[in-house]
Amino acid sequence: MALAVHQWGDKNLPTIFCIHGWASNAQVFKPLADLFSEHFHFVAVDLPGFGDSDYQEGDYKLDKLVSDLLAVAPENSSWLGWSLGGMLAVQAALDSPQRIEKIMTLCTNAKFIADKKFKQGVPYPLYNGFMDSIEDVRVTLRRFAALTVVGEKQDMLQSLKWLQLNTQVPVPTTQTLKASLELLALIDNQIALKVIKQPCLHMLATDDAIVPYKASQTLNKLNEKHLTSFVPNASHACLVTQPQLVANGILTFMQGLPDA
């Protein structure tokens, strides 16, 4: 069964295809889409088991998931991925470069978990803590949503409530959360980022508690042609908490202006 997609804006405008992160759904892009009604057509996908998409065993095998995303993505679109979604966008560009015009990643690292050679990822104990608690879905979702807004200077509770009401319903299953979290740990885009040819913008939030903004150092080294920008005083959930700042970066990049 095809993945569910949600659309906002005029279909005659340039299209941005959006992929959400772990423990979320396509609605996380609604605040951005509302700001772009005169500029872009937004198409946002629900990953397997999240939002309106069904989950079947094997849906989070990387090759299959990339194929399923390409099957619902509009032709000649630019791709925007948040967190895990950004990692998947890079994989899709590696697989089918002719399908993707530009790539934008938001709060996305080249590799999720830190190790001896890759210092700028998430500490393994943090990742393992979510994996250990995953049987209690509601507690896991609540903890993760809270972590995504750490670093916000204002309206943190309001943002947290919005995330819980809009991006965590229907409630995903333990199987969905586990399979997608395992995939998140497996993807290593260090080689992919070196070779993809599309124009690419990496946006990082300066107060992100999950993906450190210093990941820009690695991203810049992997591909000097890629652009990086920062969302100031913002958390991992900056597309919800600071949508105007994120929108400014997207618009500058999409219109080919300097200082993206």
Q: What is residue 29's predicted lDDT score, i.e. its pLDDT?
A: 99
Residue ranges per domain, the chain? 5-254
Query: Whole-prediction pTM value?
Result: 0.97
Assigned token pair, 53: 């998409």
Stretch 100-129: mean pLDDT: 95
State pLDDT tens for residues 134-185: 999 999 999 999 999 999 988 899 999 999 999 999 999 999 999 999 999 9
Can you tell me the distance from the alpha carbon of 33 to that of 204, in angstroms, rounded to the nearest whole number? 19
Give the CATH H-level superfamily of domain 5-254.
Answer: Alpha/Beta hydrolase fold, catalytic domain (3.40.50.1820)
> Residue 17: is its pLDDT beyond 90?
yes
Beta strand residue intervals within 155-226, DSSP E: 200-205
Average pLDDT, the chain: 96
Beta strand residue intervals within the chain, DSSP E: 5-8, 15-19, 41-45, 77-82, 100-106, 200-205, 227-231
Return the residue matching tokens 């990941």: 215
Can you tell me the distance from the alpha carbon of 182 to that of 199, in angstroms, rounded to the nearest whole number? 29
Q: What is residue 257's predicted lDDT score, i.e. its pLDDT?
A: 61
Whole-Å CA distances, 65 to 21, 55, 170, 204, 220: 14, 11, 21, 25, 27
